[in-house]
Structure 1
Amino acid sequence: MRKLIFGMNATLDGYIAAPGDDIGWSGGDGPDSSPSGELFQWWYEQMGASELTLYGRKLWEAMSSHWPTGDQRPGATQAEIAYARLWRDMPKVVFSSTLDKVDWNTRLVTGDAVTEIARLKAEDGGPLDICGATLAGAAMRAGLIDEYVVVTHPVLVGGGTPFFTALDNWVKLSLVETRTFPGGVVMARYETRR
């Protein structure tokens, strides 16, 4: 059985996007800046360790609007070039009832997300990453997530898209790793206790 991991950048008050889907706060040293090189490298390594990434529509649209050509943009750093190439080549699944086409080594699922995630999880293979609040929320409520990775940035935005969804039952977790990054960013990794 594969491990399902939900990890994203979040504000100290628990949001992955401020109102209006604004993620400008997720830069390394403040709004409208890039993540630190160390944090960017860490995210690259996380993506490289995943066998398959599962996207909800909104995050897919954000990622696919930038990374397919991120290595060809003027001023792209070596890290951004490597990330773009890895992102383009890695296997991905997008869950959406409104999209009719996806590209870049990606498969579209228009049916029940929880059923398909459970099926993918039951297969043999490496870890699965799940990205996007709505999709991850459905997997959380179904008890499918094995690991939570919260990369907390020192900013309060007061509202927006929460990292965690409303749950029907408590989920007990065990802290397995922490790490600090420049700019006061803290990563905490938790495993679900079953």
Structure 2
Amino acid sequence: MRTVTFGINITLDGYCDHTLMNPAEELMDYYTAMMDDVDLLFFGRVMYQLMFPYWADVAREQSGTDGENRFAERMASIDRVVISGSLNTADEKTRIVRTDPAGELLRLKQLPGKKIMVDTVSMLPELIKAGLIDELKLVVHPVIAGQGRPLLQAGSIKDKLNLKLVDTIRFPSGCMALHYVK
């Protein structure tokens, strides 16, 4: 069975709005390396529309820094599933699924392949409740935002989920990558 990884950038106070953080080149290398073990990206509509076509355009035009270009190339090469009831079209590497995110992720998890990377805050509680998230890779930024979208809404998880910290990476920027498994 494939491993499902949830990965995201987060502030010290638990917000995950990427506009609140200061990007660092070292993080592009970290995320690019993380994608080496991934052959499917699983998005909600909002995150998908933030990521694409932006990264596909950077990959095609080579318009970013060296690290951004490498990350963009890797992101653009991976197949994607987006869960959306309202999205009408997507690029050729993306399949739109209309309903049952947990059921779809379970089906995909049972297929052969590398890891599945999940990047959807809106569906995270449902996927955790269904027992589908095997590991979390959080990059904590040295920022207290005081606002934004929280990783989890209060009360969205009824049962506590105990995790084991298996790796940490400290970056010169002050960011910390934390790798947890069930």
Global fold match (TM > 0.5): yes
Q: Which moved more, 1:75-84 or 1:122-131?
A: 75-84
Q: Counterpart of 2:167 in structure 1: which amino acid? A: E
Q: 2:157 aligns with which of 167, 176, 180?
A: 167
1:145-183: CA deviation from partner (whole Å, max 9, x where unpaired): 110111100111123212235212111111100011122
Normalised to the residue count of structure 1, the TM-score between the two structures is 0.86
Q: Is the Cα–Cα contact under 8 Å of residues 176 and 189 in structure 1 kept in the other structure?
A: yes
**Residue of structure 2 in register with 1:118 after alignment:** 106
**Residue of structure 2 in register with 1:12 after alignment:** 12
Which 4+ residue blocks in structure 1 deviate beyond 6 angstroms? none
Q: Counterpart of 2:98 in structure 1: which amino acid? A: T
Cα distance change of structure 1 residues 72 and 103 upon mapping to structure 2, 3 Å threshold: closer
In 1, distance between residues paired with 2:45 and 2:143?
Answer: 26
Secondary structure, counterpart of 1:51 in structure 2? strand
In 1, distance between residues paired with 2:101 and 2:66?
Answer: 35
Give the root-mean-square deviation of aligned CA atoms. Answer: 1.6
Q: Is the Cα–Cα contact under 8 Å of residues 89 and 104 in structure 1 kept in the other structure?
A: no
Cα distance change of structure 1 residues 103 and 72 upon mapping to structure 2, 3 Å threshold: closer
Secondary structure, counterpart of 2:16 in structure 1? strand
The alpha-carbon deviation at position 53 of structure 1 amounts to 0.7
Q: 1:153 aligns with which of 141, 147, 155?
A: 141
1:20-79: CA deviation from partner (whole Å, max 9, x where unpaired): xxx23321xxxxxxx222211001111222121101100100111411111355852222
Which runs of no fewer than 5 residues in structure 1 stay unpaired?
18-22, 28-34
Structure 1 position 77 matched with structure 2 position 71? no
Overall identity of the aligned pairs, in % = 32
Normalised to the residue count of structure 2, the TM-score between the two structures is 0.92
Cα distance change of structure 1 residues 184 and 113 upon mapping to structure 2, 3 Å threshold: same
The alpha-carbon deviation at position 134 of structure 1 amounts to 0.8
Q: Is the Cα–Cα contact under 8 Å of residues 12 and 141 in structure 2 kept in the other structure?
A: yes
In 1, distance between residues paired with 2:135 and 2:116?
Answer: 10
In 2, distance between residues paired with 1:80 and 1:189?
Answer: 22
